[in-house]
Protein backbone atom coordinates (compact mmCIF):
# COMPACT_ATOMS: atom_id res chain seq x y z
CA UNK A 1 0.00 0.00 0.00
CA UNK A 2 1.63 3.21 -1.08
CA UNK A 3 0.77 5.98 1.31
CA UNK A 4 -0.90 8.98 -0.27
CA UNK A 5 1.73 11.65 -0.49
CA UNK A 6 0.95 14.81 1.37
CA UNK A 7 2.12 17.82 -0.51
CA UNK A 8 3.79 20.84 0.97
CA UNK A 9 2.20 24.24 0.63
CA UNK A 10 4.17 25.30 -2.44
CA UNK A 11 3.89 21.92 -4.06
CA UNK A 12 0.11 22.06 -3.69
CA UNK A 13 -0.11 25.57 -5.08
CA UNK A 14 1.93 24.65 -8.13
CA UNK A 15 0.08 21.38 -8.70
CA UNK A 16 -3.30 23.12 -8.47
CA UNK A 17 -2.36 25.56 -11.18
CA UNK A 18 -1.01 22.87 -13.47
CA UNK A 19 -4.07 20.69 -12.96
CA UNK A 20 -6.45 23.52 -13.75
CA UNK A 21 -4.64 24.39 -16.95
CA UNK A 22 -5.69 22.65 -20.12
CA UNK A 23 -2.36 23.09 -21.77
CA UNK A 24 1.24 22.76 -20.64
CA UNK A 25 2.48 25.53 -18.39
CA UNK A 26 5.95 27.01 -18.35
CA UNK A 27 7.77 27.56 -15.11
CA UNK A 28 7.80 31.34 -15.36
CA UNK A 29 4.16 31.50 -16.32
CA UNK A 30 3.41 29.50 -13.18
CA UNK A 31 5.55 31.93 -11.24
CA UNK A 32 3.66 34.96 -12.52
CA UNK A 33 0.40 33.27 -11.59
CA UNK A 34 1.32 32.62 -7.98
CA UNK A 35 2.92 35.88 -7.01
CA UNK A 36 -0.29 36.89 -5.27
CA UNK A 37 0.14 33.81 -3.11
CA UNK A 38 3.51 34.95 -1.84
CA UNK A 39 5.78 32.94 -4.12
CA UNK A 40 8.31 35.31 -5.57
CA UNK A 41 11.26 33.39 -6.91
CA UNK A 42 11.89 30.86 -9.68
CA UNK A 43 13.63 28.55 -7.21
CA UNK A 44 10.40 28.03 -5.35
CA UNK A 45 8.67 26.98 -8.54
CA UNK A 46 11.46 24.74 -9.78
CA UNK A 47 11.75 23.02 -6.42
CA UNK A 48 8.06 22.26 -6.38
CA UNK A 49 8.17 21.09 -9.99
CA UNK A 50 11.07 18.75 -9.25
CA UNK A 51 9.25 17.10 -6.39
CA UNK A 52 5.99 16.82 -8.28
CA UNK A 53 7.82 15.13 -11.13
CA UNK A 54 9.49 12.72 -8.70
CA UNK A 55 6.08 11.86 -7.28
CA UNK A 56 4.67 11.33 -10.77
CA UNK A 57 2.02 14.04 -10.29
CA UNK A 58 3.23 16.01 -13.27
CA UNK A 59 5.39 15.46 -16.33
CA UNK A 60 7.73 17.69 -18.23
CA UNK A 61 7.14 18.05 -21.95
CA UNK A 62 10.77 18.18 -22.94
CA UNK A 63 10.30 19.63 -26.38
CA UNK A 64 8.37 22.56 -24.91
CA UNK A 65 10.01 23.09 -21.53
CA UNK A 66 6.56 22.97 -20.05
CA UNK A 67 4.66 20.94 -17.51
CA UNK A 68 1.39 19.02 -17.52
CA UNK A 69 -0.53 17.17 -14.83
CA UNK A 70 -0.49 13.39 -15.06
CA UNK A 71 -3.83 12.18 -16.39
CA UNK A 72 -2.85 8.56 -16.50
CA UNK A 73 -1.79 5.95 -14.03
CA UNK A 74 0.11 3.61 -16.30
CA UNK A 75 3.10 5.86 -16.08
CA UNK A 76 4.00 4.84 -12.56
CA UNK A 77 6.27 7.56 -11.26
CA UNK A 78 7.03 8.77 -14.76
CA UNK A 79 8.90 5.70 -15.89
CA UNK A 80 6.95 5.38 -19.08
CA UNK A 81 5.47 8.50 -20.56
CA UNK A 82 3.98 9.25 -23.96
CA UNK A 83 2.37 12.39 -25.30
CA UNK A 84 0.75 13.70 -28.43
CA UNK A 85 1.61 17.28 -29.18
CA UNK A 86 -0.12 19.54 -31.65
CA UNK A 87 2.34 21.42 -33.81
CA UNK A 88 -0.13 24.21 -34.34
CA UNK A 89 -1.86 24.97 -31.05
CA UNK A 90 -0.61 24.35 -27.54
CA UNK A 91 -2.49 21.10 -27.10
CA UNK A 92 -0.79 18.18 -25.40
CA UNK A 93 -2.44 14.90 -24.51
CA UNK A 94 -1.01 12.15 -22.40
CA UNK A 95 -1.26 8.84 -24.20
CA UNK A 96 -2.05 5.90 -22.02
CA UNK A 97 -1.98 2.84 -24.17
CA UNK A 98 -1.17 -0.39 -22.42
CA UNK A 99 0.13 -2.09 -25.53
CA UNK A 100 2.42 0.79 -26.41
CA UNK A 101 3.62 1.06 -22.86
CA UNK A 102 4.37 -2.65 -22.60
CA UNK A 103 6.07 -2.70 -25.96
CA UNK A 104 8.39 0.13 -25.07
CA UNK A 105 8.99 -0.93 -21.47
CA UNK A 106 10.21 -4.30 -22.63
CA UNK A 107 12.14 -2.95 -25.61
CA UNK A 108 15.79 -3.84 -25.77
CA UNK A 109 18.33 -2.54 -28.22
CA UNK A 110 20.51 -4.58 -30.54
CA UNK A 111 23.02 -5.29 -27.79
CA UNK A 112 20.18 -6.57 -25.63
CA UNK A 113 20.22 -3.60 -23.31
CA UNK A 114 16.95 -2.80 -21.55
CA UNK A 115 16.02 0.58 -20.22
CA UNK A 116 14.59 1.86 -16.96
CA UNK A 117 12.54 4.63 -18.39
CA UNK A 118 11.38 6.24 -21.59
CA UNK A 119 9.68 9.36 -22.82
CA UNK A 120 7.91 9.47 -26.16
CA UNK A 121 6.61 12.57 -27.87
CA UNK A 122 4.40 12.35 -30.97
CA UNK A 123 3.85 15.42 -33.12
CA UNK A 124 1.03 16.19 -35.48
CA UNK A 125 -2.16 18.20 -35.67
CA UNK A 126 -4.89 17.83 -33.10
CA UNK A 127 -8.54 17.37 -34.06
CA UNK A 128 -9.23 21.09 -33.87
CA UNK A 129 -6.26 22.08 -35.98
CA UNK A 130 -6.80 19.58 -38.79
- Four-CA torsion 99, 81, 123, 106, nearest 10 degrees: -40
44 vs 91 by CB, closer to Zn ion: 91
37 vs 102 by CB, closer to DNA: 37
For residue 83, give the nearest of 56, 110, 101, 103 by alpha carbon: 101
- How far does CA 121 lie from the centroid of its chain? 11
Backbone angles phi, psi at 108, to 5 degrees: -130, 145
8 vs 22 by CB, closer to DNA: 8
Name the one range near Zn ion by CB under 5 A: 6-14, 43-51, 83-91, 107-115. 83-91
Restricted to residues 43-82, the positions that interact with DNA (CB under 7 A) are 43-44, 46-48, 51, 65
> Coil, strand, or helix at residue 86?
strand
Contact between 101 and DNA by CB under 7 A: the answer reads no
Contact between 128 and its own copies by CB under 8 A: the answer reads no
Cα–Cα distance measured from residue 94 to residue 7, given in angstroms and rounded to the nearest whole number: 23
Residues that bind DNA (CB under 7 A): 6, 8-11, 26-29, 38-44, 46-48, 51, 65
Amino acid sequence: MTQAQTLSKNQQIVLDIIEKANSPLKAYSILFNVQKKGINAPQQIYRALDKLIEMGKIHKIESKNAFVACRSSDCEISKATAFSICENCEMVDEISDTKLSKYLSSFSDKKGTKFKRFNLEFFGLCKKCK
